[in-house]
Amino acid sequence: MTTLFDKFSAVMDERQALTGAATDPTNVVVDKMVSATEGVIAGRATILAGTNNYLGLTFEPSCVAAGQHALANEGTGTTGSRMANGNYHSHKALERELAEFYDLPHAMVFSTGYGANLGILTALLQPGDCVLLDADAHASLYDGCKMSGADIYRFKHNDPDSLEARLRRLGDRATRTLIVVEGLYSIIGDCAPLQKFAEIKRRYGAYLLIDEAHSLGIYGDNGRGLVEAQGITEEADFIVGTFSKSLGSTGGFCVSQHEILSLMRYTSRPFIFTASACPSVIATTRAALQVMRDRTELRTQLWKNAHQLYAGLQGLGLSTGPEVSPVVGVRCADQEQAINAWHRLLAAGVYTNLIVPPASPDGSSLLRCSMSAAHTSAQVDAIIAAFEAVLVTN
């Protein structure tokens, strides 16, 4: 006789494989934050090389001060959703500032990036609609599409020909189809060919949603992401993103040229039934957005660090992603090697992200690094040296 808990037996086996050593890669505790790039883990000073803190703004004085001021003047939380009592002036101000930043008329702020994807996709799609989803798309995108009830068709990762073939087969349903892709993919750091995707969607009368979670603040002259860098902002029907990467905060957003976005406030269940973001979080996000706009040198430093790390790891003969980006994934021979290497890197004072199936996009096992503008050149050299000691000279 089966029980409700039987399904967790496989999960227990997977956990055992990850937790056989002293430190569980899925439950690392940072005992103390020293700076945007350094913490104390298990009593050891550790370089944080897997935080997504791309512009290094988590300790930015103006952001901290903005959060403290909001905390003192607006309290610890809103205790309600945007549709109830939690719609503060600062939430509306952030939406105006995001719309202005992208030079688009409409913006909507959510409490989390995950909630933004679920909220937009479930409000936009319904049974009978179609979704063409990149095979490597983030779990939040897949979950939102699945929850919407729309028909989901995956196409080969970053492959315009695969996308067009699927869209062509949909025939008249193409005009009820949403293409869902990311800008910068967060595991190996490759970028989507957005110009080609935009041209295909235009020819078939489909719609395009781009998740810029990992590309906001990194690409484009103004840091608007890959849509700006590839010149297709006006071709993107919906741009979603998060505050938890380059802006060093929490929350999510959607901006759009379509007035329909304003109607989603009345139909998006994650928006309607989730408590709004705390005033201090909104304040730090607004301050970070301003810093991102004003201090372009942060983006310059980030790319300098990214090139240094990518070149160093490639120089060691390690298998990295196809292009330089602030996300650098190092492929390992198998899951066992990846787990062992992750533990040894941590013991050497370097924290990375362990990516193993089913989280990895292609079934491989990787060690993922993400660069920050706050990393020093010496810290990047130390990361490279640790990889050499663990994966090359071992």
Question: Are 179 and 206 a contacting pair, CB within 8 Å?
Answer: yes
Question: Are 212 and 240 a contacting pair, CB within 8 Å?
Answer: yes
For the structural domain made of 61-294, what CATH number should be given?
3.40.640.10
Q: Among 61-65, 260-264, 361-365, where is mean pLDDT lowest? A: 361-365
Q: Is 85 helix (H, G, I), strand (E, B) or coil?
A: coil
Query: Could you tell me the two tokens for 386?
Result: 């640790």
Instruction: Determine the pLDDT at residue 21.
Output: 55
Instruction: Determine the pLDDT at residue 185.
Output: 96
pLDDT greater than 70 at residue 20: no
> pLDDT averaged over the chain?
95
pLDDT greater than 80 at residue 136: yes
Query: Could you tell me the two tokens for 61?
Result: 């004085």
Predicted confidence (pLDDT) per residue in 90-123, tens digit: 999 999 999 999 999 999 999 999 999 999 999 9
Q: Is 369 helix (H, G, I), strand (E, B) or coil?
A: strand
Give the amino acid at 114: Y
- In whole angstroms, give the CA distance from residue 381 to residue 49: 12
- The candidate with the shortest Cα–Cα distance to 331, out of 144, 189, 230, is 189
Question: Are 179 and 213 a contacting pair, CB within 8 Å?
Answer: no
Instruction: Determine the pLDDT at residue 22.
Output: 62
**Helices and strands in the chain, H and E counts:** 14, 14
What percent of the chain is predicted at pLDDT more than 90? 90
Domain boundaries, the chain: 11-48+296-392, 61-294
CB atoms within 10 A of CB 381: 13
Tell me, which fold does domain 11-48+296-392 have in CATH? Aspartate Aminotransferase, domain 1 (3.90.1150)
Residue 32's Cα: distance from chain center in Å?
24
Question: Are 251 and 110 a contacting pair, CB within 8 Å?
Answer: yes
Give the amino acid at 288: A
Instruction: Determine the pLDDT at residue 2.
Output: 87
Instruction: Determine the pLDDT at residue 181.
Output: 98
Q: What are phi and psi of 109, to 5 degrees?
A: -110, 135
